[in-house]
Amino acid sequence: MARLQSCGGAVSFATYMDWALHDPEHGAYGSGRLQVGTGGDFATSPSLGPEFAGLLAPQLAQWLGQLAAAGPGPLTLLEAGPGEGELAADLARALAAGWPELAGRCQLVLIEPNPGMAQRQRQRLASCPLSVRWCNFAELEAQPCRGVLLAHEVLDALAVERVIWDGARWRRQQVGLLGGLRPEPLIALQHGQPLQPQADAALLVELQLRGLLKVQAGLPCGWTTELQVGVAPWYAEAAASLVEGHLLVIDYALEAWRYNAPSRIGGTLMAYRGQRASPDPLLEPGTWDLTAHLCLETLETAARATGWQPLGQRRQGEALLALGLAQQLHGLQQCEPDQLAAALASREALLRLVDPAGLGDFRWIAYGRGEVLKQPTTLFLREPH
Ligand SMILES: C[S@@+](CC[C@H](N)C(=O)[O-])C[C@H]1O[C@@H](n2cnc3c(N)ncnc32)[C@H](O)[C@@H]1O
């Protein structure tokens, strides 16, 4: 409330989301309050067990192997937004076990702006078999590396702007204080001013890229959507940090035509806490995760503009089947009686990873840059078997 008052009573949605997630004292991630996992606020694929990293490891090994074959020098496996550090820890173990030579040349670099999260990652990775360090993009840009960058459910945590179609014009959504005679001030979502050609040029470009200017006449009054204003700067920083290699983004993402459907009247923004979901982003600010879907066309434009070549994308279900998930499930049938409980837990995790109504609908989106692009990437982009 005090912050809003000091900012004149209202701020853009992106400013509010940034505070609610990343403020070091009050933000859900910044303070380290949010817990990722089945016993925490929300589950992600790596938090279901080591199966996800085990299936992903051959893809990373292929990409790192291509770089290793192309020349000497260190290789880097980078992860942005590592959460509890489970994916990084499980991947390091899988690489060390399955590809010891590659692992011997590889360092792990974690990019985590939120000190509360980084502290837990340090504990989780205390006995990591790879050398590991924490860096930000600015430090990496000073000494760019060759390797693979993973972004698993991190771009959906970048602050988004929200815009509203009022039947005639687009307006920027604001978060502001409600005045009046209430004993306690309340915060509310408000329709801001109509977008102006000069002051809001960046948002108007995003609207155009999303195809919204073409379909706006068919949208109902009050239709609201998210614009991923943080994505292009993030791709630019990622490109400046990696001279050669691959980027794999795994996240909720929609094609523009799905994102822009008139029926998606409230956008895609959701809040998560304690395994509960709510469409209200203003609930107890700083204690809920806030997340919005990505738009595939926005990602592709940002990637091309910043020097990443898109290599293709698959739904997670298809990607994991191409990487051998069905064979792993089949292998669980041969387990010894004393391993039955572990086999059943593994089976449940594998099935959740490909559930088409849940994690199986996530998108795996691959990009590359540099000489390594001359070599084909095959594993998760081939047909499932
Ligand atoms: C939804 S959690 C995902 C955690 C983990 N990747 C997983 O899937 O279990 C988002 C993570 O991204 C971090 N994060 C948020 N903004 C970031 C940014 N701009 N760069 C890197 N990490 C960020 C958060 O602190 C948190 O660790």
By C-alpha distance, which of 35, 41, 30, 136 is closest to 86? 35
CA-nearest residue, atom 27 of ligand 1:
83
Residue 179 has pLDDT above 80, yes or no: no
List pLDDT tens digits, range 322-340. 999 999 999 998 888 888 9
In this prediction, residue 201 carries a pLDDT of 95
Distance between Cα 83 and ligand 1 center (Å): 5
Distance between Cα 157 and ligand 1 center (Å): 7
CA-nearest residue, atom 7 of ligand 1:
83
Q: Is the model's pTM score more than 0.75?
A: yes
Quote the mean pLDDT of the chain: 94
Helical axes 86-98 vs 115-124, angle rounded to 10°: 30
CA angle 360–365–371, rounded 5-degree value: 150
CA-nearest residue, atom 14 of ligand 1:
81
Going by pLDDT thresholds of 50, 70 and 90, the confidence category of residue 381 is confident
Return the amino acid letter for 115. Answer: P
Instruction: Sort strands 10-12 and 170-178 into parallel, antiparallel or unpaired.
Output: antiparallel
The token pair that represents 43 in the structure block:
């589950």
In this prediction, residue 287 carries a pLDDT of 95
Going by pLDDT thresholds of 50, 70 and 90, the confidence category of residue 174 is very high
For ligand 1, mutation pick of 112, 119, 149 (most atoms within 8 Å of CB): 112
In this prediction, residue 385 carries a pLDDT of 63
Contact 45, 359 (CB under 8 A): yes
List pLDDT tens digits, range 44-87. 999 999 999 999 999 999 999 999 999 899 999 999 999 999 99
Mean pLDDT across 363-370: 96
- Tokens 């293709």 found at: 312
Going by pLDDT thresholds of 50, 70 and 90, the confidence category of residue 378 is confident
Q: How far is CA 231 from CA 158, 306, 330, 358, in A?
A: 8, 11, 39, 24
**Which atom belonging to ligand 1 lies closest to the Cα atom of 79?**
6
Contact 381, 318 (CB under 8 A): no
